[in-house]
Amino acid sequence: MTQNTINSKSQDDREEKFSIRNLIFPFSVALVVLFSLAPILWQFLTSVKTNDAIVALPNVYFPSPNQLTLSHYTELFERRPFFSYMLNSAFVSLTSTILCLTLGSPAAYALARLRIKGENVILAIVLVITLFPYILLFLGLLELVKATGLGNNFLALIIPYTAINLPLTILVMRSFFQQLPRDLEDSARVDGYNTVQMLQKIVLPMTLPALATTGILTFIFAWNEFIFALTFITLEDLKTIPVAAAQIGGSSVFEIPYGTIAAATVLGTFPLVVLVLFFQKKIVQGLTAGAVKG
């Protein structure tokens, strides 16, 4: 596969003759698509099959009309507060994203443009902590949450989510500010703007695309977070989607509700699928800026 890819990297494929070599590339594209989509599609198919069709052997890949149902979805909303889970996830993710951009962008600007003592130390620290897995933080945070009585309070999620996304925000926004032409800021200074005014009136409007890029990433990370949400929120009505979905299976010992779990996974991933469909380019941009250029 690699040989073929490189070989034809910079040449146009005008070879007409039909050979196995020419098939390798379309085949690898198909493989990438299948590999990426199969688990999601299987989950979707399971979610719309009746319980009988789900446990039919051999597996049903093309259900007939009477094997289709939406009951797994209605069950999520009728028997469980699934709408609350979605709202909780949306609220926590949005709030922490806004907070993260509000705190992270000014810091990124300072690190990109202003000369501060210890700037390199700050950057090095920011770079290293992007690598810390959350399990290292959860014990200390658990104590903090207990001490401050923030258990079952969304702040117990919003503050850590803001923090875990700050390093990425700072790195992405900093690389953006570095690419911004300096002239604008210089002429603003000549016009007598101080730093804060200049940030508000000149820099911020130009920054909106980069803020969107960063915001999409932070939203995804916050929506997907599991261990803090599992530990700090125990009230059913306050749970976020990943935790709530993961706990559906554990609710009954005798019969695992495969269809309901599948429906929950479809609904829980749906907002992210939409985000990726619309903002693929921005996501790639942000990830590479955050990881590579930093």
Partner 1 sequence: MTQDTIRNREQKTGWLLVTPALIVLLLVYAYPILRAFWLSFFAQNLGTQLQPEFAGLANYGRMMGDSRFWQSLWNTTIFTFVALAFELTLGMGVALVLNRAFRGRGFVRTIAILPWALPTAIMALAWTWIFNDQYGILNDILLRLGLIQEGINWLGNPTLAMIAVITADVWKTTSFVSILLLAGLQSISGDLYEAHAIEGATPWQSFRQITLPLLMPQILIAALFRFAQSFGVFDLVQVMTGGGPAGSTEMVSLYIYATVRRYLDFGYGAALVVVTFIILVAVVAIAFYLLGKVRKSAGVEL
For residues 89 and 240, the answer to whether their CB atoms sit within 8 Å is yes
**Nearest approach, Cβ of 254 to partner 1 (angstroms)?**
14
Identify the residue among 16, 18, 64, 114 touching partner 1 (CB under 8 A): 114
Q: Which 200-259 positions form the footprint of partner 1 (CB under 8 A)?
A: 220, 223-224, 226-227, 231, 241-243, 245-246, 249, 258
Token pair of 230, please? 């599992």
Residue 98 in the binding site for partner 1 (CB under 8 A): no
- Closer CB to partner 1, 91 or 258, in the complex: 258
**Nearest approach, Cβ of 154 to partner 1 (angstroms)?**
15
What Rg, from alpha-carbon coordinates, does the chain have? Answer: 24
Identify the residue among 20, 135, 235, 253 touching partner 1 (CB under 8 A): 135
Binding flags for partner 1, 31-50, as an x/- string (CB under 8 A)? -xx-xxx-xx-xx--x----
Residue 23 in the binding site for partner 1 (CB under 8 A): no
Cα–Cα separations (whole angstroms), residue 161 to 137, 173, 192, 262? 12, 18, 38, 27
Hey, what amino acid is at 256?
I
Identify the residue among 133, 149, 181, 192 touching partner 1 (CB under 8 A): 133
Identify the residue among 167, 174, 218, 263 touching partner 1 (CB under 8 A): 167
- Closer CB to partner 1, 65 or 121, in the complex: 121
Residue 64 in the binding site for partner 1 (CB under 8 A): no
Residues 6+ apart with CB under 8 A from 99: 158, 162
Identify the residue among 93, 104, 185, 188 touching partner 1 (CB under 8 A): 104
The three-class DSSP label of residue 68 is strand
Identify the residue among 86, 92, 111, 157 touching partner 1 (CB under 8 A): 111
CA trace torsion 100, 287, 90, 126 (10° rounding): -30
User: Where does this chain touch partner 1 (CB under 8 A) — which range of 68-76, 78-86, 101-109, 202-210?
Assistant: 101-109
Q: Give the number of other CB atoms < 10 A from CB of residue 85.
A: 24
**Nearest approach, Cβ of 74 to partner 1 (angstroms)?**
20
Residue 83 in the binding site for partner 1 (CB under 8 A): no
For residues 190 and 271, the answer to whether their CB atoms sit within 8 Å is no
**H-type alpha helices, the chain:** 2-7, 20-47, 51-54, 71-79, 82-113, 119-129, 135-148, 155-179, 182-190, 195-198, 204-224, 227-232, 241-248, 258-288
**Nearest approach, Cβ of 17 to partner 1 (angstroms)?**
19
Binding flags for partner 1, 274-293, as an x/- string (CB under 8 A)? -xxx--x--xx--xx--xx-
Q: How far apart are CA 242 and CA 80, in angstroms?
A: 14
Q: How far apart are CA 87 and CA 77, in angstroms?
A: 13
**Nearest approach, Cβ of 194 to partner 1 (angstroms)?**
8
